[in-house]
Structure 1
């Protein structure tokens, strides 16, 4: 997703756009998997997500803690000020931390495994063991342990730590990775005051641990991601067709809002406002303005993401509006798309486990230059966040590399959006240079093999 600022003009949806908005009313008679529910009911989705959560904690946490040399990881947070890693720890029925929530992971060794404790916040569907206060309260005649709240939680945390005697205590503080900097200053002060110097001296940043847990994907998430990516393709294919675009009538913002509305009609969401851009023979970006009418002969570009079951896609495609009498796009435009495909091939081949994002960028750009391609590479991880946890592979304005974020290492079980552009002269446009920006999601499996989440665009979408 390439961020850009736009002035939103008043929206007047064309008749063509309105005609394809097909919201299906909710009804018990609607099958679980229908056009209105492409991924099943909310309950079915939640059951699938809960299985992902359990598998992620069972498989990823032990491996990542041992790789990081961490035997205890403490993650405190308060309601509506959640640590970014909360997305990788919370059940699908949990939308925020409960008052204060403190998650504790303690590695008891390969035989006993990693203990998972929740000091407040509940068990998250049985994947954590709740630890409650010893203080008793009367609830309707039943004497029960009180839910942890306030200073009690820090005292119980100290007790948990003293019982287990960890060599080190990982906490989420980082000046490099936002995903690993979730421990707020107030929570740090409260924890440090309660634990005292003997334990705070064992604090260590959990940078790689937090980043890689968020990036870690399990096999069934990959199967779902293929279906989610197919849906993104289907929506783009309809958006870049006569079902939505009437040349000479439809504006780019009509298409953007149709795409977003389509997701809402399907009960889904997006993580950024869809964008559509026009390139036109003889015109500049400034002359086209912010919300041009789409005309015949225009080159179209879109940037679009789907959010479903907390997972995100990120896709950029190119289209062409046929002129009267044309049955295909001009050869020069098709050649420009092929050049961008070649740059995709290069980044795809260079994206390997064990390499840093900056190494992938450097080798890709060298091969791009050797191939005579005028392009830019700005790829990124994707998953629980759109611009996800993991190594950056360039930024559009940082082609020399990204210190810190680009120095993190690619790992198996991780997803990336291969995002880039190549600019090519088009003979049919009197040599005018046209920018072909593409973005497709890829998956690294457990062995580190890379494959497209669905496929990649090799033919222009044609608006007839």
Structure 2
């Protein structure tokens, strides 16, 4: 999670004038050239995203509705108060709900499939059938379709229910998962008043369905994610190099804002403010202050993410600023990094479909303790959201497990950020403990096989 370090860097925007070369998603070399549009034009990106949407609706949705016993799923929202599931349901050219938008999914069985209706708004590139009210325009009997709004939509929803007569109606209400709690109180009141007890009595929370549909990722999304992760790595590699850092002059805030600016210059976004921290021999965190100048011999840590095509990365890496005469980090620091690598191995091996986040956390911590590693595990799903839909695998302050959120199960075609830290005494620093906090994204395919989205850091980024 983003609060894995006890403080977050809160500093003003410093002007940073270092000359910094560009990076490329196609290579891991700091300073390599990059296309002006690393993922193509917006039109190219939208075409790819639209294919992802159709695959999600045609492949994931029917399976999940049947798994959770939801015959009909009704999702109602208003403009600028969208349900959290909204980004998983709409085309890349749709940025907000239209006035009131109601999506209805009706499972007619394996042969006929899931019917997809939009009561208000458009077809989302042909993914939905749009239902609109018929209004008489003049005395000549001419009728036209009008966009649904207000009470008209509830009437059309009631007609849809009466035509299909579902026995179970799923709605997005949850006291556990924010992702499954998108039906506002006002929307529910309006719906219940219009539909009456005959239909509201058939409603039940669609918690697991909402969570898992947001979490589900397809094969081409995973292919794209490798390139997105590669770009995130390259920005970190350049940020933790002499192209950005001049020991004795550059502050941590300079690196933070260079990262933000670099992402912006590429036409991309991020879902949180990056952070850069320093650990220094003989100094406490309080003595270093909020925005220290980076010095030789410092251990660096960053937390950084990139957002593109609605997908998010989350990466934490370690760096080291070489002292005069050094060509590599001291052996004790490399051993500390290897220890957090080992903890990554453990969580990676324990992560598999069908297990809850709390089960994975417990098994991982038992193995961690048996190997004498002092650390914490606080991994999370990732995808359409940075801290994504699905089971939490610990929190930095909840190592005994996370009731509710941690009890959900991992599914195939889901992604995670394996986030953790190992704390180790470093002989070269007089036994002072160093915290090696790492985070790498992994993908699970349709068979449940876990892969690093790109790779994981096994050596310090070196500032010379």
TM-score (norm 1): 0.95
The aligned residue for residue 12 of structure 1 is 14
Does the CA-based 8 Å contact 2:240-2:462 persist in structure 1? Answer: yes
SS of alignment partner, residue 421 of structure 2? strand
Matched-pair contact (CA < 8 Å) for 2:8–2:275 = no
The answer for the alignment partner of 1:398 in structure 2 is 398
Distance 1:146 1:136 in 2: 10
CA distance in 1 between partners of 2:304 and 2:327 (Å): 27
Counterpart contact for 1:21–1:258, Cα < 8 Å: no
Q: Report the alpha carbon displacement of residue 6 of structure 1 after superposing the two structures with TM.
A: 4.1
Contiguous gaps of at least 5 residues in structure 2: 24-32
Instruction: Report the 3-state secondary structure (helix = DSSP H, G, I; strand = E; otherwise coil) of the residue aligned with 1:84.
Output: coil
1:20-419 superposed matches below 5 A: 20=20, 35-137=35-137, 143-419=143-419
Q: Distance in 2 between matches of 1:8 and 1:340?
A: 27
Quote the residue 2:461 is aligned against. Answer: 461
CA shift, 1:135, in A, is: 1.7
Q: CA RMSD in A?
A: 1.5
Which whole-Å CA distance do the structure 2 matches of 1:426 and 1:36 have between them? 43
Describe the shift of the 1:359–1:238 C-alpha distance in structure 2 as closer, same or farther (beyond 3 A). same
Q: 2:196, 2:137 → 1: CA distance? A: 29
Structure 1 CA distance for aligned equivalents of residues 257 and 90 of structure 2: 31
CA offset at residue 423 of structure 1?
0.1
CA 1:375–1:165 in structure 2 vs 1: closer, same or farther (change >3 Å)? Answer: same
Deviation at residue 143 of structure 1 after TM alignment: 4.9
Matched residues in 1 for 2:11 and 2:378: separation? 29
Distance in 2 between the 1:143 and 1:46 partners?
Answer: 35
The CA distance in 2 between the partners of 1:101 and 1:183, in whole Å, is 12
In 1, the alpha carbon distance for the partners of 2:423 and 2:385 equals 29
Look up the match of 2:26: none
Q: Distance in 2 between matches of 1:159 and 1:278?
A: 62
Which moves more between the two structures, 379-388 or 5-14?
5-14
Alpha-carbon spacing, 1:6–1:421, altered in 2? closer, same or farther (3 Å): closer
Equivalent pairs counted in the alignment come to 451
1:443 aligns to 2:443 (yes or no): yes
- Contact 2:16–2:258 (Cα < 8 Å) also in 1: no
Note if contact 2:375-2:420 (Cα within 8 Å) is conserved in structure 1. yes
Measure how far apart 1:144 and its partner are: 2.2
Q: Partners of 2:8 and 2:395 in 1: how far apart?
A: 20
Q: Distance in 2 between matches of 1:143 and 1:262?
A: 54
Deviations 1:288-335 (A, max 9, x none): 010000000000000000000000000000000000110000000000
Question: How far apart are 1:13 and its partner, in Å?
Answer: 3.1
- Asked whether the 8 Å contact 2:9–2:276 carries over to 1, the reply is no
Q: CA deviation at 1:22?
A: 5.9
C-alpha distance 76-270 of structure 1, shift in aligned 2 (>3 A): same
Quick one: distance in 1 between partners of 2:152 and 2:256? Answer: 50
CA distance in 1, matches of 2:173, 2:12: 43
Indicate conservation of the 8 Å contact 2:134/2:143, yes or no. no
SS state at 1:59 partner: helix
In the aligned structure 2, how far is the partner of 1:37 from the partner of 1:127? 28
Following TM superposition, by how much is the alpha carbon of 1:7 offset from its aligned partner in structure 2, in angstroms?
6.0
Change (3 A) 1:136 1:219: farther
Query: Partners in 2 of 1:169 and 1:400 — Cα distance?
Result: 36
> Is 1-10 or 191-200 further displaced after alignment?
1-10
Question: Does structure 2 conserve the Cα–Cα contact (< 8 Å) formed by 1:14 and 1:249?
Answer: no
Displacement after TM superposition at 1:109 (Å): 0.6
User: What TM-score do the two structures reach when normalised by structure 2?
Assistant: 0.95
